[in-house]
Chains A and B, each alone.
Chain A
Amino acid sequence: MMNKTARDEIMALVRSGTAAQVVDSGAEMVSFDADEKLREDDRKTLIADFRRYAAQEAATSERVAGANDVPQAITRYLRQLELPLQVLAAGEIISGGVDWGLADELEILNRPIRPDGDTVVTGCYAGLAEAGAIVTVSSAHFANELQFLAATHIVVVPVERIFADYEGLWSVVSREFAAGMPRSMNWIVGPSRTADLGVPSKLGAHGPARVHLLVVGG
């Protein structure tokens, strides 16, 4: 009951406060841009920007031709860093799936994530060239916390899902999530970092210390 009163009181104050100075009080709610109008930017530039801005935030990236190259690329990356050739695969990595059998040395773990130290491979909903960020969305198939609990996060990014800017993303989101937004949409650029222990900032504050992007196709 107290809360109802609080709401009413706050809203009344807000209303009288806004009315005091607003001429146009009936502005329409601007909704998503309904039609998808992906910029016609050269895809090559998009991909280059995406990788460059991700690199500025300490993410590494590699281009691979198709989904079949993903397992080998992951193996190479882990071997280079002398990390165990074991990964947890979370959610749909790429439409059509990945044939993990193509890299015999790579072990796909079938266990819950450990508190720290695992490598997690995920797909992504989109890439944002403007910021070098990847976008993931939680779903029945994807427990999004895995990407924060991992020590190393490998993300598979199909080139056709890289958008030039935020507006490009929102226009697709408005169509694909017309029925309701996912619980969690995460934009991630580079590894977790902190500036609280001096300069330069340190990587791996809470989330992964390494983020590697496998840009597929194009």
Chain B
Amino acid sequence: MQTTSKHFRAQAREALANETLQASLEGVRRVMPEIRAAAADRCDDFAALCTQAKDVRQHSIDHLDQLLATFEQQVVAAGGQVHWARTGEEATQIIADLCASVDCRSIIKSKSMVSEEIELNSALESAGYEVTETDLGEYIIQLRGEKPSHILAPSLHVSLAEVGEAFNAKHGIERDAPPTDAGEMLLEARAVLREKFLSADVGITGANFLVAETGGVVVVTNEGNADLSMSLPDTHIVVTGIEKVVRSLVDTGVLLRVLARSAIGERLSNYTTFVHGPRQEGEISGPRGFHVVLVDNGRSQLLGTGFRDMLRCIRCSACLNHCPVYTAVGGHAYGSVYSGPMGAILTPAFAGLPGTVHLPGASTLCGRCESICPVGIPLVKLLRRWREASHAQSLPTAGERFGLACWRLVNRWPLVYRLVTKFGVILVRSLSVPGTGQQRWLKRLPSFTALWTQHRDIPAPAGNSFQAQWRRHRAGRKS
């Protein structure tokens, strides 16, 4: 998996200065936690639902070998084929070979994060195929030659005006100026993509879940693009990670209940499709070829490690929407198709820690992500685990390690702690400016600490530490 995560700092700075992106992120901050909370409140007991969902995913991970074997058997029994790929390259090769075997020219795709992870589009395009993304967000970033900036809303960073410009540049429609009306753009995209749907030879989709007991592939969308992608072309290829398999249809229902609520604050997404194999006897439509490409790409190696819990992830994106770091810098800053807390854990796992060491650090460890994860992934613990690993491998810079050593020293010796906080508070207050009432603010700090105040004002600490106040309080009570 290719990343630019090692440039996290520069990318984050760029993101903070990008006004379009900041306006979109403000929308995420304002709207998404609220709609998820409202959806959870409308449930009798959302916490109990999440516990069930966690159990379902835990069962999958604990019995992955059996479930994968059963799933494979059932797909074959339904007339489909299962292909196994150890790496991203192996997966793209299998898919390119499948396309060649059916004499394919054009391919339509619905959104799949695994296909982003393995860079499927560029591999297929280099093999000479025309690939069209059909999820509108993916289509927009494909036209702009970009990567997704959110796992569910890939074009989150693109303004409506920029969409109009992209359509104007790529659709070859004679007009005086780019379209600006969202309704007009929707009809234009619908018409352009409808043509592609009707002429494509192969449809590629991801999978939200795989159902072992029936060999089913479950795909969830709001646009219905996956349904057209998997029912019109003569060949349907599913590309997905091995961890997506669950035991039964009943278990899938449990996950569907938490997925849409966590992702978009709805009971259910508009389209949920359970597909089982190719066209059946007597049917007059549906693909004649049905292939499932199961991608490992580092997943099996997580199983026996302390990161095993991460395999429960159902890619709902709630942790991104609730993360103060993600909602400040957006997805591109992470330099990986997986961003936010889940991305900060998955990216080092898939791409290796040395090039991605900044990501586990890109968290305040406030725990908001963990508190809303519908499958109970201990995200904070896993972020810490990566930090420990990076420290053990001496990956942080000398300056960072020196800082941590100082921190440790201060925290180990109560006297040093008291002295440092006492003089620290005096120093910091001397740099602050008055605000309303008693409150003072830090608006501009000197030297390297200026980064702290570059994008926000920080309330200056009170004159006394809690410990000092407590001592005074106790002394007062005794006298």
Contact = CB atoms under 8 A, between A and B. Distances in A.
B320 interface: no
A183 B278 contact: yes
A145 interface: yes
A11 to B, nearest CB: 6
Interface stretch (B184-192, B360-368, B433-441, B456-464): B184-192
Interface of B: 27, 31, 59, 61-66, 68-70, 77-78, 83-86, 90, 94, 134-137, 140, 153, 155, 160, 163, 182-183, 185-186, 189-191, 193-195, 197-198, 212-216, 222-225, 227-228, 230-232, 242, 247-251, 253, 256-257, 264, 266-286, 294, 296, 300-304, 308
Given A14-B300, A170-B250, A180 B270 contact: no
B296 A206 contact: no
A206 B222 CA distance: 9
Contacts of B140: 196
A32 B294 CA distance: 25
Interface residues of A, number: 74
A81 interface: no
Nearest to B183: A202
Closest 6 CB pairs of A and B: A17-B303, A207-B224, A140-B282, A166-B253, A13-B300, A20-B304
Contacts of A17: 64, 300-304, 308
A206 B70 contact: no
Interface in A194-218: 194-199, 201-202, 204-208
B183 A138 contact: no
B195 to A, nearest CB: 8
B79 to A, nearest CB: 9
A193 B223 contact: yes
A203 B218 CA distance: 23
A1 B127 CA distance: 22
B86 A180 contact: no
Given A20-B304, A115-B194, A166-B256, 13 more contacts: A21-B308, A22-B63, A27-B59, A30-B251, A140-B281, A145-B231, A183-B286, A186-B273, A187-B271, A187-B274, A188-B271, A193-B270, A196-B140
Contacts of A123: none
Interface of A: 2-3, 6-7, 9-11, 13-18, 20-22, 24-25, 27, 29-33, 53, 56-57, 115-116, 128, 130-133, 138-140, 143-145, 148-149, 165-167, 170, 173, 180-199, 201-202, 204-208
B250 A167 contact: yes
A53 B257 CA distance: 14
Given A181-B276, A205-B186, A33 B250 contact: yes
B83 A185 contact: no
B426 to A, nearest CB: 48
A32 B247 CA distance: 10
Contacts of A165: 253
Nearest to A27: B63
Contacts of A20: 303-304
A165 B282 CA distance: 31
Contact of A14 (B68, B134, B269, B274): B68
A207 B271 contact: yes
Name the residue among B27, B77, B272 with the largest chain A CB count within 10 angstroms: B272
B281 to A, nearest CB: 8
A14 B303 contact: yes
Contact of B228 (A24, A149, A196, A197): A149
A29 B65 contact: no
A132 B270 CA distance: 10
Contacts of B78: 180-181
B227 A186 contact: yes
A196 B167 CA distance: 14
Contact of B84 (A7, A16, A139): A7
B280 A182 contact: yes
Given A186-B271, A194-B136, A206 B228 contact: yes
Contacts of B276: 180-185
Contacts of A18: 61-65, 303
B283 A138 contact: yes
A205 B214 contact: no
A36 B90 CA distance: 44
